[in-house]
């Protein structure tokens, strides 16, 4: 599988070199390492340049501070062949939205300028995120990562040409709403992520569980699902090989 949202530069990983080596030696074909601010965006670019399976996104998370123009400069001043998207950006209810909303809009505009898709974080703000996306449309696609289950928001995302990605929470016994979303989502609009190390402490095993849950819900073979998810990732992230 292609892990479309992960953080292999996180300080929460006890042994980063081992974690990267384990991924490189796994059957997984790619990992999209997500930038949260200028510093972490630089880190994920470095990892992608040093490891064939790793790719990068650059951006400012809603809970982090930063200047979007610094992200623009980073793109132009880096080897950007493996920078797949802008983000993660978006909105988060646990903090005031005064700075989040302008930064979100600026990153949509930056993604459009650079002809890149957008990786969106939306926690408790699905409706406001949709309102912004309707006014400032990402022209090169977007994904709402670790999608909070909401069938109305799913409908709006699909109408806007977006994708959702799901992670380890769909395997929990309490995931009834998430399972309804997976059954309802068009098969060409779903991605898999692990959000390691925040939602997964064993990405190899957790990835299999997420994959198998979707396979069960969609009632299809392993090769069929692999082909669909691989195609979806490459449709959104055009630079992905």
pLDDT tens digits for 90-110? 999 877 898 899 999 999 999
What's the pLDDT score for residue 95? 75
pLDDT, tens only, 41-88? 999 999 999 999 999 999 999 999 999 999 999 999 999 999 999 999
Percentage, residues of the chain above pLDDT 90 = 91
Say what the pLDDT of residue 49 is: 97
Q: What is the pLDDT of residue 163?
A: 98
Residue 71's pLDDT is what? 98
Residue pair 59/71 in contact by the 8 Å Cβ criterion: yes
| pLDDT recorded at residue 187 | 98
pLDDT digit string (tens) for 113-165? 999 999 999 999 999 999 999 999 999 999 999 999 999 999 999 999 999 99
Enter the pTM of the model: 0.96
> In the predicted model, is pLDDT for residue 30 greater than 90?
yes
Beta carbons of 214 and 59 less than 8 angstroms apart: no
pLDDT at 27 over 90: no
Sign of CA dihedral 2, 175, 8, 64: positive
Residue 96's pLDDT is what? 84
Give yes or no for a contact between 195 and 167, defined as CB atoms under 8 angstroms apart: yes
Token digits for 227?
């082909």
Rounded to the nearest integer, the mean pLDDT of the chain is 95
Residue 22 has pLDDT above 90, yes or no: yes
pLDDT at position 1, please?
85
Q: What pLDDT score was predicted for residue 172?
A: 93
What's the sign of the alpha-carbon dihedral 191, 194, 199, 204? positive
| CA dihedral over 212, 218, 222, 228, signed as positive or negative | negative
Give SS3 for 62. coil
pLDDT digits (tens, 9 = 90+) for 175-230: 999 999 999 999 999 999 999 999 998 988 999 999 999 999 999 999 999 999 99
């Amino acid at each position: 599988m292609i892990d479309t949202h992960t953080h292999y530069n996180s300080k929460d990983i006890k042994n980063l070199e081992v974690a990267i080596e384990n991924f490189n030696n796994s059957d997984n074909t790619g990992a999209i390492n997500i930038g949260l601010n200028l510093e972490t965006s630089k880190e994920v670019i470095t990892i992608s340049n040093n490891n064939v399976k790793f790719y990068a996104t650059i951006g400012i998370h809603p809970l982090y501070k930063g200047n979007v123009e610094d992200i623009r400069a980073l793109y132009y001043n880096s080897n950007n062949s493996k920078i797949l998207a802008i983000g993660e950006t978006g909105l988060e209810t646990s903090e005031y939205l005064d700075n989040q909303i302008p930064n979100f809009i600026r990153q949509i505009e930056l993604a459009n300028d650079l002809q890149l898709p957008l990786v969106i974080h939306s926690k408790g703000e699905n409706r406001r995120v949709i309102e912004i996306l309707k006014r400032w449309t990402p022209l090169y696609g977007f994904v709402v990562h670790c999608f909070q289950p909401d069938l109305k928001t799913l409908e709006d995302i699909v109408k806007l040409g977006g994708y959702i990605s799901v992670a380890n929470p769909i395997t929990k016994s309490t995931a009834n709403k998430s399972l309804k979303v997976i059954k309802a989502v068009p098969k060409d609009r779903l991605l898999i992520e692990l959000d390691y190390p925040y939602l997964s402490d064993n990405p190899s095993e957790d990835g299999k569980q997420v994959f198998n849950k979707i396979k069960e819900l969609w009632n299809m073979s392993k090769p069929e699902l692999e082909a669909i998810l691989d195609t979806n990732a490459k449709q959104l992230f055009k630079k992905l090989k």
